Amino acid sequence: MLFSAVSHAQILNVERARVDRDSANYFTGKAGMSFSMFNRNAGKDNPNNYLQFTMNGDVAYISARHSYLLLNYYNYLLVNYDSKELRNTVASTGYSHFRANFERKKRLSYELFTQLQADKARGLELRTLAGGGLRFRLLKAESSGIYLGSGLMQEHEEWEEPDEESQIIVSDLIKSTNYLSMRAKLNANVTVDGITYYQVGYADSIEKWRNRVSGDVSLQFKLNNRLTFKVNFTCTYEDEPIVPITNFVYTLSNGLQVQF
């Protein structure tokens, strides 16, 4: 089962999908799925009922020199907040991300990426982005590493104005995108990994810099060769959102993951 806050944060942790083996020219991947249903008190005879479904699936192809990642995530949340009148709120979030890492074994490598994303819970109808950059290995040890990435991307966003139904606000920015990631194997069965992003671009419409800081930390417990129990925390902070929304959002979740 999975528990998460009603507010969701989608942070892409590309390090979790990377693989580092001596062999080459192979496919690998993982998939996970969780379901939860619960209620909260909203009156003696009228509780709020929640239904949530989450799934994710990652696929990677590793060649002798390069790697290619396809990462996918989807979350569906249904809230029945008035059972007598059958009024429901539906919030769905998800993304699909493709990334290519060229000369992956070198200390300095190169990346190209593109992403499609939606977050109806926050009013994000669509976010598309594409870009590239450099990836630098700061530290590498057996089953552990620290990496720094920096590049540029073109980001297109479509947000729903919360105070005016059906009005869409559009933003197109060229942004600097940067990340610091780490992965450490604490013992044979416990792994921790995390990533922090900093993205910034100048918005002519408000004549200000728009800054976004986000992070993802995960603790994974290996149960056997196929099953892993995972605890995950993600968060995002935006200082100048283009529509009036909560600046800081987070997700705390736990669940099972299947390796294939």
Which of 244, 154, 237 is CA-nearest to residue 201?
154
CB-based contacts of 34: which residues, under 8 Å, 6+ apart?
1, 2, 53, 54, 55, 255, 256
Q: Which residue has the higher pLDDT, 109 or 77?
A: 109
Is residue 255 a part of any domain in this protein? yes
Measured between alpha carbons, how far is 77 from 134 in angstroms, rounded to an integer?
A: 37
| CA 128 from centre of chain | 14
Is residue 5 a part of any domain in this protein? no
Counting residues of the chain whose pLDDT is more than 90, the rounded percentage is: 44
Give the range of the structural domain holding residue 171, as residue numbers without chain letter.
14-259
Is residue 7 a part of any domain in this protein? no
Is residue 3 a part of any domain in this protein? no
Tell me the CATH number at 79: 2.40.128.130
Task: Please check the confidence at residue 43 and state whether its pLDDT lies above 80.
Answer: no
Number of domains in the chain: 1
- Condensed to tens digits (0 to 9), the pLDDT of residues 94-148 reads 999 999 999 998 999 999 999 999 988 788 899 999 999 999 999 988 778 999 9
Whether the full predicted model's pTM is greater than 0.85, yes or no, is no
Is residue 130 a part of any domain in this protein? yes
Measured between alpha carbons, how far is 82 from 234 in angstroms, rounded to an integer?
A: 30
Is residue 153 a part of any domain in this protein? yes
Is residue 107 a part of any domain in this protein? yes
- Condensed to tens digits (0 to 9), the pLDDT of residues 224-237 reads 888 989 899 989 99
- 3-state helix, strand, coil split of the chain in percent (to 5) is 0, 70, 30
Q: Return the pLDDT at 35.
A: 82
Is residue 9 a part of any domain in this protein? no
For 13, 30, 31, 124, 223, the CA distances from 58, given in Å and listed in that order, are 11, 5, 6, 23, 20
Work out the mean pLDDT of the chain and round it to a whole number: 84
- Condensed to tens digits (0 to 9), the pLDDT of residues 244-253 reads 888 998 889 8
What average pLDDT does the segment 79-104 reach? 77
